[in-house]
Amino acid sequence: MYHMGKESTVKPTTTIAVDIAKNVFQVAVSKRPGRVAEEHRLSRTRFLRFFAQRQPATVLLEACGTAHHWARKLRQLGHSPVLLPVRHVAPYRTTNKTDRNDARALLEASRNEKIVPVPVKSIDQQSLTALHRLRSQWLADRTARINTLRGLLRELGHFIPQGARHVIPAVWELIEDADSDLPSTLRPPLAEACLEIQELGERIRAVEAQLRELAKSMPAVRRLRTVPGVGLLTSTAMVAFVGDPKRFPTSRHFAAFLGLTPRERSTGERRILGRISKRGDRYLRMLLVHGARAVLLAAKRAAKPDRLRQWGLAVERRTNHNKATCALANKLARIVWAVWSREQEYRPIAA
């Protein structure tokens, strides 16, 4: 096994591309650009053993499932893992979709300096992302069950308003009322559905309590929560999914990373801007848009809104509510980057 020493700070000259999968890993070794010197097909048990016996190299991986785990393992062995976005690697695959061609496409994509690598997430970051993913899934399950209950009861002539606070009490009232026209065959399964919805609600609240407890030890979360429209979920999600804000040179790069900047179709002297690009993580963009919507709603009720809220209201009067929401979400993303990267709390400016 090759062991790293203090003198091994020289940039590795060998590049190894790995097409990762659940059980089989395709490896392509390149010692000079445009040439593949070796190719291997490894099982999961042989994967780390293979890299432990090699000198430090730049290891290319697609930023897909398990990529961050293997990148951390490779880093412990002295290698330099680089995660490339999947959608930027695919155009470099010239022939059929095979593991061998995918590994070669990684080698070609790594030569394009415009492709920005994905930072390797730490275990703490991935724990936070897992909490957010679980909460989102349970929230979707609860919404689906609530909509199912409302749809079934609507067929029987019982119309219930939207929202869990309306649905569950109304269904329980129908089940417990012996004189209601609800069929007796439906009462037990509807009661089970109500219990499931209540259990999902308890899980969601438990995850939020856990996020609140973790946020106490994160100074970045505390600073981000001073930004209007940024609460517990948005601030912890930023820390989990983004990591280091200083990898973005400007606030506009950060907003573009979240897909909140307009698409551009310009040519010559004509500059044509369209709708927002919707690139990047959909979950982060959704949180910021909902936060911007809340800021706009609060601005309409405020007696003396600050400059940020006045700007949002002016955009809404000039365009419409949805465009103003996206524009304000874009501005909030830039404020988040400034507060986060400069390690300062947000200070509102009076109108």
Checking if the pLDDT of 179 tops 90, the result is no
For β-strands 15-19 and 24-30, DSSP reports them as: antiparallel
Find the helix or strand (DSSP H, E) in which 26 lies: strand 24-30
Q: Between the CA of residue 321 and those of 151, 162, 292, 296, 316, what are the distances in Å? A: 30, 22, 11, 9, 5
Looking at the structure, tell me whether residues 205 and 237 fall in a common domain: no
**Whether 194 contacts 153, CB under 8 Å:** no
The pLDDT of residue 1: 41
For 230-248, write each residue's pLDDT tens digit. 999 999 999 999 989 999 9
Looking at the structure, tell me whether residues 40 and 140 fall in a common domain: no
Percent of the chain with pLDDT over 70: 97
Looking at the structure, tell me whether residues 65 and 25 fall in a common domain: yes
Looking at the structure, tell me whether residues 269 and 156 fall in a common domain: no
Which among 74, 109, 144 is the end of a domain?
109
Q: What is the residue range of 224's domain? A: 219-342
The model's pTM: 0.86
Burial bucket for residue 120 (CB in 10 Å: 0-12, 13-18, 19+): buried
CATH code, domain carrying 101? 3.30.420.40
DSSP 263: E
Looking at the structure, tell me whether residues 337 and 250 fall in a common domain: yes
Tokens of 176: 């417990």
The pLDDT of residue 30: 93
Mean pLDDT score across all residues of the chain: 91
Tokens of 262: 């307009």
Q: Between the CA of residue 186 and those of 24, 83, 119, 162, what are the distances in Å? A: 49, 52, 52, 21
Domains contained in the chain, number: 3
How many Å separate Cα 63 from the centre of its chain? Answer: 13
**Half-sphere exposure (Cβ direction) of 66: Cα atoms closer than 13 Å:** 10
In the predicted model, what is the mean pLDDT of residues 107-121? 92
Cα–Cα distance measured from residue 83 to residue 120, given in angstroms and rounded to the nearest whole number? 7
In the predicted model, what is the mean pLDDT of residues 164-190? 90
Cα–Cα distance measured from residue 339 to residue 346, given in angstroms and rounded to the nearest whole number? 6
Greatest CA separation for the chain: 84
For 281-323, write each residue's pLDDT tens digit. 999 999 999 999 999 999 999 888 889 999 999 999 999 999 9
